[in-house]
Structures are given as structure tokens and as C-alpha cells.
Structure 1
């Protein structure tokens, strides 16, 4: 695969582009994301599915701009896919041929099942979850991909979309007809021999915007959409308020932006109906979808479209980008595991905390790379926004705070106040803080010593091969949790 790759997704409502740069075998980072609400399907469902001239021209002009961005970023490979609007339109070849002839761009029109599959590939690789069903609400269709134990088991597409419903039902004030149309389509899922999970991973602009409204309403502390989750029963009121809105002013009072006035009621109506009919309890919001799925299908074509076991693309891409020494990174990771395991009788933390301690230890030097002074604060701010993929919000915040307090003193309750709802108890965070601080302390001189640890009666005994004054004095200054004592043998 080319080092820099452009992916363009032409949807019924929006056209989106991502430009991704590969940094090592499986790692990559986002270097550009562009969106244009060209509404290519506008007016088509009222005209036998045929694309109309003005929306086609908008899409054509936006594609030219997308290609200008791609060329400026020296992208060597462009993958362009089109979904519901172009696959449904009898006259789609008019647009496809013009783009091919004038712009030299080959657009691949994908079927609904493939579109759903791409969403499943993206979310199963870039969200840390095992059992869920994706729901991707577009302008012309909605895609579902069932994932069990991290593996895709079924992909299906239904002709339910915001633009389709608006033109066929909402514009005619036939809400009952719209509800019946959705329920009739959902029978295609309910009749499948599948155990429908209680968790939805939501993809697409309508679902993401609903999540943004929920975050805003609840004064959510972390400004990141990917990985945000909520309980359906807690947010039904907002859905009902949107559907009851009689004017754009009513929508605006709920926080809806002008560019969403034309689709938010239809999108909310579709999503609420799906959640109720499939008996969904939890929604996890995905910042990735078809574009990332197209990219990963290409990147992982020899890996069954799945990252290797225990591979984390966010961590690997950050280590690549900041050129962290592989030997030091590996040492900190392995030593973190040893410290966690030997102290487990005292801290009693779940195994997921060991993974987060390893990640924190490996990424610690990033703060220094940004700026040597206040390196812990630098790392905290960067990780909150930069640890994008494969981390739910709780995990991201725990890693950020573990890095922030990887020093001699332990965090206090007031230090955790801002992100309290996403953090474990104070005692757990103090253990995480101490363990990473100890990990860094034994390697103060970067000699990567092979330390032997033992625990006896709340005393952690350490046999260091190099008992340097620097290391010994630093360890002696560490504040310890829960009456733990340290002894250097």
C-alpha cells in the first residue's frame, strides 16, 4: 500500500474524504479529513431515483477540490467508493463517466452489503469492543453489521435513509407511513437467525450529531466523539424533544445547528425506531466508518481484514511519529507488567489496568518530545486528544492521568475532579501513578536494568543490578499508596 492514501466516500447526503499516512507495517495516522454536504441524492427519490443536475454539479465541483487536496498532500493512491445514491440511480453512469473522463477518477459503486461490511471492518479494528451491531444511517440506506467476539458474522443493508424518508413520507406529513416503512424493512433483520446484541455502535452523521447533543446537554468533560457511549433509556427524552420540534427555532433551542435542520428529525426518527425494535440498551459512537473500512480492507488484505492480536494502532502510530526508542519502549512495557503482577495482592486491579499501565509507560517520553519542561502536562493534554483509535473514553482518560502523575507524589481527589465521571476511584489511580513512577525510577539512567521484585508483608523488595545513587535516591522519594514500603536489596 502507498505511504499516503486518499479515501473518498460519496454518500447520499455528504461526501467525505480522509487522507491517511502509513508509518510502519500496520500503523497509520490521519493527516486530513474533509467533508462536503453536496446532497447528491437531493430530489432523486421524487424523480424515479434519477440524480438531478444541480446536485451532480455540486458533487463534481467538490470532487475537484478533494483531488486538489489529495495532490497537495502527495497522495499516491486514491480509493473512491459511492453508496446508496449512485447504486440506486438509473442515470448514475452519466456522473460516473463524466468524473472518469474529466478528473481521471474511477468511482467504485459498492452494494449495500459491502458498505455495511466496511463499517464492520472499521469498528471491529478501531473500537475496543467484542459484541455489537453497527448502525450506519445514511441519506438513502441504513447498514447493519453484526460483530461477535470481534469477528464479522453478518452484513445487511436496508433502504431506510434520511433523504429517502423525507422525500417519500416526511414532506407529505405521513409519519405513520414512515414508521410502517421502517418496521417492514427491519423484519429483514428480525427474521435472521441471529442473537441481536444489546449494544449498537453508531456510524454516520445523524448518529454522531445526536451524540454531540447528548455530550453538550450533560456537560460531558471530554471533547471526543469516537468511543463516547451512553445508555438509551437516559437519552430518550432528547430524541422525543427533537421529534416534537415544530420549527427550526425549536430545533435550534435544542442545540441543533442549521446544517442539520434538513435531516436531524428523519435521522432521529430512524435511529429511535431501530433502537426500540431491536431492544438496544447501549450506544457507542464511532468516529470511523466506510472510509476507514475501505482503507483497512486494503491495508489488512493478507490478515483477513483484522489487526494482529494485541496490536494497537493508536499506540504504534504515536511511537512511530515521535520516534520513541523501541528498546526503551519495550523495556518500560515489560517492566510495567512485572510491577503490576507483583503488586496485584495489594492493588487488586482488573487486568485491563495492566494493559493501560503498559500503554502509559510506553508513551511516557512523548511529553518530553513535545517540550522537556512540564512534560507530564504535555503528555496529558496530547493523549486526551491524540489517543484516537481502539480506546473507549474511560481508558483514554486513565492513560492520560497515569502519565500526568508519573512523578514522586500521588494524585489527590481534587486533581481528578474535572474528569471524575470517567475515572475509577482515587485509590486505583494512586496505584497506577505509583506503578508508572516506579517503572520510570528504576530506569532513570536508561540502562534498562533487569530488576527482581518480591512482595513480603506490604514491603516491595527490589534487587537492582545497578544500585546507583541517582536511582536509589529517586526511589526513596516516591510516595507510596496504601502503607506500601519499599526496600532496595
Structure 2
């Protein structure tokens, strides 16, 4: 039975409603609606730490708009949370009461630990990173955590965010060099009180609007060939390079900059200063973006409670793909069985055991499940659709490099199309890696040929060789004419890669 969950996040910069749906039990929740309002509640928090009546009215009006959408989608399971600005407001109890009275929402005010914890939870449920530092910079606060072996070790919440830094230090539309220096000194003083971030030499994982927008901006600047920012990786030098490109720009020029949200044109430089200092102090080896953050952390915690164990993230994502594209699982399992037997025997004959790793075998099996899934859209161009869909789809637990690798194997149709697909990414992989991907793809082509009728008639395969002449003895328990015809057309790719002549020999 379909299940829907709504989460309202009242931040210092933006208010957002996200609606998730689980189409059937056991499948992941999918985001079906995501509405953001740039309310900038922080701007209504005065010097006495009171949120003004105008700010409260804006809050209530926005919640009423969200209510209409929740009613349209028939969502009754709703979680409404607020973070730094309302948490820091002296009239927070009045705000909670007004929200309850005028909207019926029970507003949950997250404390500093909860806000940090939900961000950490989102990261470990959507990446395979074992040790890292997370930074979630909102409009009014910044939460930092350190986890090791995927367990939360340390956390803190700092009293600044992208919007509060802008409001407190920047007089004009963009910071001057002097104002940038003031921001830098203030943030550094705050970070110096957190000894556990120093010299960790592990990934820094950014989440929240500022981090996401930075990733989108960088992707546009370098003409990045993939869609999606989850697990997007950047070198530590990237922030400094982007800062130098942005500093000479006027505010109108920043607002027109491709990839940069118009609403964040005035907060992007203060945000980058925070990320840069964190990277410098922690000596992180890379900056990774997580699209999953506070709201997903709340969702995961709501679903799983305190149980943070979970099966392979990649396997979960592949199960979702199988469901979305109506893939025949029995056929995929037969392909895996055949492909593993072929790979094992090629290994023995070619003595490739040292070069084919357990990761390669896992890649072969994952690609077998979704091999040429693009035929769901168009049988004639299934390879093209498969590559595009997989390379541009977020697959939890896979970096962008690993995602493209999976797409290249699962879409394999020969070296010509492989070269075409890999062209924008050829610097990502060594020649040896490229040869291995072609081999795995060619093996899957043969495996698919040997179950082209999806009757699982192949019982066993034995390969014998004499120099470059290989005989593939294929024992079946049914009529094999169609499989025999198909493999004759598909074996050429494997023959070219291995520089052999392959003779299939079917028997019962």
C-alpha cells in the first residue's frame, strides 16, 4: 500500500516542504514534491533576538500555502521542524503556540544535537563513506560532525550561517575585501574552538543549500558532463579557484551567473569562506557534496528509528531501478550465473586472476541486473538510453566515477559505442580499466545471448582452449536454436577483446 510522508523544514534562509512516497513496502521513499520559499526568516530576528510580527505573519502564510499542497496530495503523516532562527529567538514559545493555533501543525524545535545528528544520519544512509567530517551550513547556524566507522563521534553547532554572516558583516550587496577578511577572522576564531576537526585528512562532506549551490555553480563553470550533485567530488583547490572568479563580479553579474541561484548571490562568498577554512584546518583530501541532508535524516530516522544498519546502498538503488523499469529478475539472475561462469573460465585460461578483483565481479553482477534496461524506452536504441539513464541517475553508494563505470558496462554494445560514451570521461579511467570494462560488457552480451528467450535453459558451460581457438560447450535442457543463433551474432566482441576464435557447441 502506498505511503506518503511530508516534511516541513523552517530554516533561517528558506522554508521548504518535501513530500515523499513509498509505492510499496520494502522500496525506498521517493521525493514527489519539493517546494522552497525564500522567506529569509533570519532577517526578521532583531537585535533583541525577537522574531518580529511581520516575520511571524510570513511564517504562517507560508505554512498555509504548504497546507494546501499537503491536502492536495492527501498527506496526513507530517513532520514540521524549525532550526536556528526560531531556536535562538526569545519569543520561540509564542511562535510555537501561534503555529499550533493558526495552522494545526505541531512545530518541533530541533536542538543543536538533533540538527547535527539528522545531517550525519542522511550522509551514512546515502553514501558509503566510512570516515568523514560533515558540514551543514544553513542560514543561521552551521552544524559540524565527525564520524568514524560510520558512527557519530563528535558534533557541534556554531552560531553563524550563510545569511547571518551576510547580515552581520556585509553592508552592500557583495562583501568587500575588508569584509571578507572580517568574516574569515570571525569564522576562524569559532573553528579554533573545535580541536577534533584539525588535521583529520579525511573527506569533508557538505550538505544544505549553500553546499549544493556551490556544486551546481562549479559544474556549470567546468561544463561538467553529468547531471546530479549527490556525491559530487571536488579537489580542495576548487574553492579558492571559484572564489577568485566570483570576487571581481558585481551583484547583478552574480545574479545572472549560470548555476548560481539568484537568491544566494549575496551569500555565496561568505559560504565559500567557511568551506575553505574548514578544508584548510581539517586538511581534508576532498570536498564531497551530499544532496541528502536534514530532511532526509528526519525521514530515515522516522522509518528506521535508532537502527542505522542497512543493506548495501547500491543494492537498494538497483532494486529501485529494477522496479522502475519492470526488469525481469529471473532473467537477470540467469545472466549473472552465466556471466560468472564465463568470467571464471576466462580467468583460468588467460591467467587473469590477479587483475580481476572482487570489485570487478560485483560490478559484473550489478550491471547484469540492469543490462540494456533502456529497451524499456526503445528496443532499437536500448544501449544509448541505458547509458544516459544510469550515468545521470543518482545511485546511492556510488561516486560519479563509479556510476559512469556501471553505466558503461551495463550499456555495452561494442568498442565503437563504448568509445563514444566514454569520450567525456576518458581521463577518469586508465587504459587498463577501460579494457576491463569492455571485457565485462562483452561477457554480459554473451550471457544475454545465452538466455535470449528468457527460459533459463542453459545448465552448464565449459570452455576449453587450444592456443587461440576456444570451444564453448553449452549444455541445455531445452530447444536452444534461438540462443545458438543469437550467440553467433554477439560473440565477435568477446573474440576481438581476447584475440581468439570462439566456437559455441550446444548439446543436451
Inter-partner Cα distance in structure 2 for 1:185 and 1:367: 51
Closer/same/farther in 2, CA of residues 383 and 266 from structure 1, 3 Å limit: same
Q: Deviations over 1:120-145 (max 9, x none)?
A: 11111212322221111111111122
Inter-partner Cα distance in structure 1 for 2:410 and 2:498: 20
Inter-partner Cα distance in structure 2 for 1:29 and 1:450: 39
- State the SS of the aligned residue for 1:188: coil
Closer/same/farther in 2, CA of residues 408 and 165 from structure 1, 3 Å limit: closer
* 1:233–1:281 CA contact under 8 A, matched in 2: no
- State the SS of the aligned residue for 2:327: coil
- The residue that corresponds to 1:25 in the other structure is 26
Deviation at residue 464 of structure 1 after TM alignment = 3.1
* 1:332–1:439 CA contact under 8 A, matched in 2: yes
- The residue that corresponds to 2:42 in the other structure is 41
Matched, 1:383 2:390: yes
Map 1:265-304; keep pairs closer than 5 Å.
265-301=269-305, 304=307
* 1:411–1:430 CA contact under 8 A, matched in 2: no
Q: Deviations over 1:140-187 (max 9, x none)?
A: 111122232333333322223112222333339654443333222213
Most deviating of 50-59 and 168-177? 168-177
- The residue that corresponds to 2:426 in the other structure is 420
Matched, 1:361 2:373: no
Q: Which has the larger radius of gyration?
A: 2
- The residue that corresponds to 2:481 in the other structure is 469
Matched, 1:180 2:170: no
- The residue that corresponds to 2:442 in the other structure is 434
Inter-partner Cα distance in structure 2 for 1:277 and 1:270: 11
Closer/same/farther in 2, CA of residues 461 and 28 from structure 1, 3 Å limit: farther
Inter-partner Cα distance in structure 1 for 2:8 and 2:462: 53
Most deviating of 465-474 and 277-286? 465-474
- State the SS of the aligned residue for 2:211: helix
Matched, 1:397 2:404: yes
* 1:86–1:109 CA contact under 8 A, matched in 2: yes
Inter-partner Cα distance in structure 2 for 1:117 and 1:437: 45
Matched, 1:215 2:219: yes
Inter-partner Cα distance in structure 2 for 1:464 and 1:194: 61
Closer/same/farther in 2, CA of residues 432 and 162 from structure 1, 3 Å limit: same
* 2:82–2:108 CA contact under 8 A, matched in 1: yes
User: Taking CA–CA contacts closer than 8 Å with sequence separation of 6 or more, which of the two structures ends up with the larger relative contact order?
Assistant: 1
Inter-partner Cα distance in structure 2 for 1:469 and 1:428: 30
- State the SS of the aligned residue for 1:220: coil
Indicate the RMSD between aligned Cα atoms, in angstroms. Answer: 2.9
Closer/same/farther in 2, CA of residues 272 and 441 from structure 1, 3 Å limit: same
- Select which of 475, 498, 507 maps to 1:482: 498
Inter-partner Cα distance in structure 2 for 1:98 and 1:137: 27
- State the SS of the aligned residue for 2:67: helix
Structure 2 spans left out of the alignment, 5+ residues: 173-177
Most deviating of 362-371 and 293-302? 362-371
* 2:204–2:286 CA contact under 8 A, matched in 1: yes
Deviation at residue 294 of structure 1 after TM alignment = 0.7
- The residue that corresponds to 1:352 in the other structure is 359
* 1:397–1:422 CA contact under 8 A, matched in 2: no
Closer/same/farther in 2, CA of residues 147 and 197 from structure 1, 3 Å limit: farther
- The residue that corresponds to 1:74 in the other structure is 74
Inter-partner Cα distance in structure 1 for 2:471 and 2:187: 62
Q: Deviations over 1:377-422 (max 9, x none)?
A: 23223223334432211122222222322x4666453442133344
Inter-partner Cα distance in structure 2 for 1:19 and 1:416: 36
Inter-partner Cα distance in structure 1 for 2:76 and 2:318: 25
* 1:411–1:433 CA contact under 8 A, matched in 2: no
Deviation at residue 200 of structure 1 after TM alignment = 0.9
Inter-partner Cα distance in structure 1 for 2:407 and 2:271: 34
Map 1:93-172; keep pairs closer than 5 Å.
93-171=93-171
Q: Deviations over 1:343-380 (max 9, x none)?
A: 44448244333333322221236423333342222322
* 2:144–2:157 CA contact under 8 A, matched in 1: yes
Closer/same/farther in 2, CA of residues 355 and 64 from structure 1, 3 Å limit: farther
- State the SS of the aligned residue for 1:386: coil
Structure 1 spans left out of the alignment, 5+ residues: none
* 2:198–2:281 CA contact under 8 A, matched in 1: no
Inter-partner Cα distance in structure 2 for 1:452 and 1:251: 62
Deviation at residue 42 of structure 1 after TM alignment = 1.2
What TM-score do the two structures reach when normalised by structure 2?
Answer: 0.86
Count residues in correspondence: 484
Inter-partner Cα distance in structure 2 for 1:264 and 1:175: 12
- The residue that corresponds to 1:5 in the other structure is 5
Inter-partner Cα distance in structure 1 for 2:135 and 2:171: 24
Deviation at residue 318 of structure 1 after TM alignment = 2.1
Closer/same/farther in 2, CA of residues 235 and 183 from structure 1, 3 Å limit: closer
